[in-house]
Structure 1
Amino acid sequence: MAVNEVTDDTFEQVVLKSEKPVMVDFWADWCGPCKQVAPIIEELSRTHGDKVTFVKMDTNTNPVTPANNHVLGLPTIQLYVDGELVKAFKGAKSKSVLLGAIEEYL
């Protein structure tokens, strides 16, 4: 499954109102570690996209949601379950760390 873009306008509907857990990758085109994380998120989306929704948000074009969700550095990866933030990671993380975070909610 594809990792879709989410925006300030769609965040509430796509992430907070989702019936499935949602992993959000907050990124920017100038962020080197973000480019390392992106393929991991895409791989997780292919293997677990039936149970977890994976989305990414460009913080350059969507400043409101990151500010409201305490995103202070990039990349930041957040996991939401039933509209609540349950896990947050700052910096590039390995596949095993991210997989461990979502396995708790599968």
Structure 2
Amino acid sequence: MTDDTFATEVLDTPGPVLVDFWAPWCQPCLKLAPVLSELAAEYGDRLRVVALDVDENPDTTQAYGVVSIPTMILFQDGAAVSSIVGARPKPALAAQLATLVP
């Protein structure tokens, strides 16, 4: 996903979309990626998970005030409703998402 496709892929998408703000040099981000893939598979159609490279897409990164990575922002019907800063173990992240995604 890019700054140019963010609106289409996140803001115009009905339902929950979790955006992972990351960078390829960020070790916690790289460790979190497979966890997010597993959660995306477990949630199926109930949650869309996408990633945005902060170095390649500064406009969206700045627009949402991302200053530390990894940062995940949950959008519901185009509106940012919650953010999670920092890598979390899968059980902790799953528990947090369970309160936000039906």
Q: Tell me the TM-score normalized by structure 2.
A: 0.91
Counterpart residue number, 1:83: 78
Give the partner amino acid of 2:7: E
With normalisation by structure 1, the TM-score equals 0.88
- Select which of 1, 6, 16 maps to 1:11: 6
Residue 98 of structure 1: how far off its partner (Å): 2.4
Show the counterpart of 2:33: 38
- Give the aligned CA root-mean-square deviation in angstroms: 1.2
Report percent identity of matched pairs: 40
Deviations 1:6-34 (A, max 9, x none): 11011111111111200011100110110
2:57 to 36, 59, 62: 62
Higher helix share: 2
Matched letter for residue 89 of structure 1: I
Q: Does 1:73 align with 2:58?
A: no
8 A contact 1:87–1:101 mirrored in 2: no
- Matches of 1:80 and 1:101, distance apart in 2: 14
1:52 aligns with 2:47: yes
User: Quick one: distance in 2 between partners of 1:95 and 1:71?
Assistant: 22
SS of equivalent residue, structure 1 residue 54:
strand
Letter in 2 for 1:98: L
1:29 aligns with 2:58: no
Structure 1 unaligned spans of 5+: 1-5
User: Which moves more between the two structures, 88-97 or 16-25?
Assistant: 88-97
Q: How many residues align?
A: 101
Distance 1:17 1:102 in 2: 21
User: In terms of mean alpha carbon deviation, does 69-78 or 91-100 score higher?
Assistant: 91-100
Runs of 4+ in 1 over 4 A off after TM superposition: none
How far off is 1:81 after superposition?
A: 0.5
Aligned partner letter, 2:18: M
